[in-house]
């Protein structure tokens, strides 16, 4: 039997592999496989296909190639391999730095193979020449080693000892900036960033983004319970089997009581005065505007039946059915209501239906001076005020009439977050 040519072999290997990919891709839903498994299967098939193709390349007559020819063949192969490695690693959920490392590894492999294929050197003519070559190799290797290691983070025994000997943190009094900073260190040291983003920081969406979710709106007790007993309450959108078990249950043993206080003080700063909280697992996210559960809770607040906001009753003035009970109180049924003109230096021409989240929040937390619309945000936890706003909107924009959800806003960046503080968008004390 005659040896098949490469193109004959490829004509078999490629269609079979692509066929498998198509089967896995379209067959997965029928087989009940998740998207992640589906992507992995396809990735594996493609990698195996490339491997088999490489094996199928016929052994050519041995011909010395020049250095440049050598590179010309290897670089494109490595680039393609690098891209494949990047996406396969990504689909397996490796953090981005691991992906970078894997690709760097592929390129180190390139250097290795280039070295292997270099033309052999001419044999040394004399003893002296071989010693010089030996010394030169040694010097080159040392130089590379020293330059590379100098770039890496250095082990500083003093710093490491200090870290070990640092006395356990003791706290007293209220959470100031130092406590919040200490809490952030505890967040980093316990690798919370491995699963949680905080606004723009972090690189994994395994758990909720604690910034856009605005975990700081919740009570300290709730946050503490979510850290110590993560299985008790699932974050919305994280009810799947994998997410349910993802958050470790050992933090009660690893984090001391005082550290926990600092950690919670840090988490309490995670709020956004310009957007509704965002729920769900990226990219299947939604805002509280469209969350039926939140809107139902908002109705309870609006009608004065929420124990946590005892004394607050929007319906007394704005009406339980949306028909204002007090003259002058905003009629939420009319989407074309203008903004109040009674606040000096703060007015928008936008009609109620187009109000930004930031405006809703500002009006309800700050109130309208000189009117019965008091600055409710000075008295009541903002968690409940956002919910009441989500409900108030339904008077002119009922949930069951909506054809689409409001878009999830882009994650605020560092500059925006700084601006909230400098423009005093936060109320003190934080409720």
In angstroms, what is the minimal distance from the CB of 224 to ligand HEC? 9
- Grouping H, G, I as helix, E, B as strand and the rest as coil, residue 286 is strand
Part of the chain binding ligand HEC (CB under 6 A), chosen from 24-32, 100-108, 283-291, 386-394? 386-394
Comparison of 27 and 372: residue with beta carbon closer to ligand HEC: 372
What is the separation, in whole angstroms, between the first and last Cα of the chain? 83
Q: Where are the alpha helices (DSSP H) in 32-95?
A: 35-56, 67-91
Positive or negative torsion for Cα 283, 287, 290, 292: positive
Residues 41, 49, 192, 270: which binds ligand HEC (CB under 6 A)? 192
Q: Which of 389, 390, 408, 411 binds ligand HEC (CB under 6 A)?
A: 389
Question: Smallest distance from the beta carbon of 300 to ligand HEC, in angstroms?
Answer: 12
Bridge partner list, 198: 201
Q: What angle do CA 81, 82, 84 make, to 5 degrees?
A: 65
Instruction: Please say which residue, 41 or 382, places its beta carbon nearer to ligand HEC.
Output: 382
Q: 179 or 392, CB closer to ligand HEC?
A: 392
Query: Which CB, 123 or 168, lies closer to ligand HEC?
Result: 168
Nearer to ligand HEC, 129 or 194 (CB): 194
Q: What residues numbered 87-106 form the site for ligand HEC, per CB under 6 A? A: none
* Residue 251 lies near ligand HEC (rule: CB under 6 A): yes
CA distance 400 to 395: 11
Q: Which of residues 318-357 bind ligand HEC (CB under 6 A)?
A: 318, 326, 328-330, 339-340, 342
Rounded to a whole number of angstroms, the minimum distance from the CB of residue 362 to ligand HEC is 9
Residue among 28, 70, 91, 243 that touches ligand HEC (CB under 6 A) = 243
Tokens 């290691």 correspond to 149
Q: What DSSP element (H or E) covers 150?
A: helix 127-151
- Residue span binding ligand HEC (CB under 6 A) among the ranges 29-37, 55-63, 117-125, 238-246: 238-246
Which one of the spans 44-52, 162-170, 239-247, 412-420 is the region binding ligand HEC (CB under 6 A)?
A: 239-247
Beta-bridge mates of residue 201? 198
Q: Is 207 in the site for ligand HEC (CB under 6 A)?
A: yes
Residue 133 or residue 347: which is nearer to ligand HEC going by CB? 347
Please work out, in degrees rounded to the nearest 5, the angle formed at the alpha carbon of residue 299 by the alpha carbons of 298 and 305: 100
Beta-strand runs (E) in 204-315: 278-279, 286-287
Indicate the length of the chain as a whole number.
431
208 binds ligand HEC (CB under 6 A): yes
Least Å from the CB of residue 418 to ligand HEC:
23
Q: Report helix, strand and coil shares of the chain as percent, to nearest 5.
A: 55, 0, 45
Give, to the nearest 10 degrees, the angle between helix 35-56 and helix 6-31. Answer: 170
Nearest distance from residue 407's CB to ligand HEC, in Å? Answer: 21
Q: Compute the chain's Rg from CA coordinates.
A: 31
Backbone angles phi, psi at 4, to 5 degrees: -75, 150
Closest approach, Cβ 211 to ligand HEC, in A, equals 12
User: Rounded to an integer, what distance in angstroms lies between the CA atom of residue 277 and that of residue 376?
Assistant: 19
Q: Binding of ligand HEC at residue 213 (CB under 6 A)?
A: yes
How many chain residues touch ligand HEC (CB under 6 A)? 50
Q: How far is residue 16's CA from residue 63's CA, in Å, rounded to a whole number?
A: 33
Chain centre to alpha carbon of residue 183 = 20
Place of tokens 């979710």: 213
How far apart CA 155 and CA 242 sit, in angstroms, is: 37
CB of 313 to ligand HEC, least distance (A): 6
Of 208 and 211, the one with the shorter C-beta distance to ligand HEC is 208
363 binds ligand HEC (CB under 6 A): yes
Nearer to ligand HEC, 28 or 243 (CB): 243
Task: Summarize as ranges the residues that interact with ligand HEC (CB under 6 A).
Answer: 187, 190-192, 194-196, 206-208, 213, 215, 223, 226-227, 230, 234-235, 238, 243, 246-248, 251, 263, 312-314, 316-318, 326, 328-330, 339-340, 342, 360, 363-364, 368, 371-373, 376, 385, 388-389, 392
């Amino acid at each position: 039997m005659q040896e098949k040519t490469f193109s004959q072999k490829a004509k078999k290997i490629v269609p079979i592999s692509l066929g498998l990919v198509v089967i896995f891709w379209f067959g997965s839903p029928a087989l009940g496989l998740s998207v992640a498994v589906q992507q992995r299967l396809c990735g594996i098939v493609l990698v195996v296909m490339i491997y088999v193709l490489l094996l199928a390349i016929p052994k050519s007559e041995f011909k010395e190639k020049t250095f440049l020819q050598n590179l010309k063949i290897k670089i494109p192969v490595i680039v393609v391999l690098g891209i494949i490695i990047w996406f396969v690693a990504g689909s397996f959920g490796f953090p981005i730095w691991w992906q970078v490392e894997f690709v760097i590894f592929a390129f180190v492999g390139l250097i290795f193979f280039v070295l292997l294929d270099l033309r052999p050197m001419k044999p040394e003519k004399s003893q002296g020449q071989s010693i010089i070559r030996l010394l030169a190799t040694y010097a080159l290797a040392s130089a590379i080693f020293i330059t590379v290691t100098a770039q890496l983070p250095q082990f500083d025994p003093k710093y490491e000892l200090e870290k070990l000997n640092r006395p356990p943190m003791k706290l007293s009094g209220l959470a100031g900036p130092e406590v919040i900073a200490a809490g952030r260190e505890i967040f980093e040291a316990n690798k919370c960033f491995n699963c949680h983003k905080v606004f723009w920081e972090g690189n994994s969406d395994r758990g909720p983004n604690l910034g856009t979710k605005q975990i700081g709106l919740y009570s300290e007790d709730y946050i503490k319970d979510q850290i110590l007993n993560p299985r008790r309450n699932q974050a919305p959108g994280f009810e799947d089997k994998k997410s349910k078990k993802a958050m470790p249950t050992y933090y009660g043993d690893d984090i001391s009581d005082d550290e926990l206080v600092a950690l919670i003080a840090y988490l309490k700063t995670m709020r956004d005065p310009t957007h509704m909280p965002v729920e769900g697992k990226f990219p299947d996210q939604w805002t509280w505007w469209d969350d039926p559960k939140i809107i139902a809770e908002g109705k309870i607040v609006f009608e004065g039946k929420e124990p946590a906001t005892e004394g607050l009753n929007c319906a007394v003035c704005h009406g339980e059915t949306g028909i204002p009970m007090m003259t002058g109180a905003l009629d939420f049924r009319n989407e074309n209501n203008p903004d109040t003109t009674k606040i000096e230096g703060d007015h928008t021409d936008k009609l109620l239906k187009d109000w930004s989240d930031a405006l809703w929040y500002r009006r309800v937390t700050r109130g309208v001076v000189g009117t019965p619309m008091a600055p409710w945000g000075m008295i009541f936890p903002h968690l409940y005020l956002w919910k009441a706003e989500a409900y108030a909107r339904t008077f002119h924009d009922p949930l069951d009439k909506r054809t689409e959800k409001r878009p999830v806003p882009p994650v605020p960046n560092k500059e925006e977050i700084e601006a909230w503080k400098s423009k005093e968008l936060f109320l003190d004390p934080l409720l």
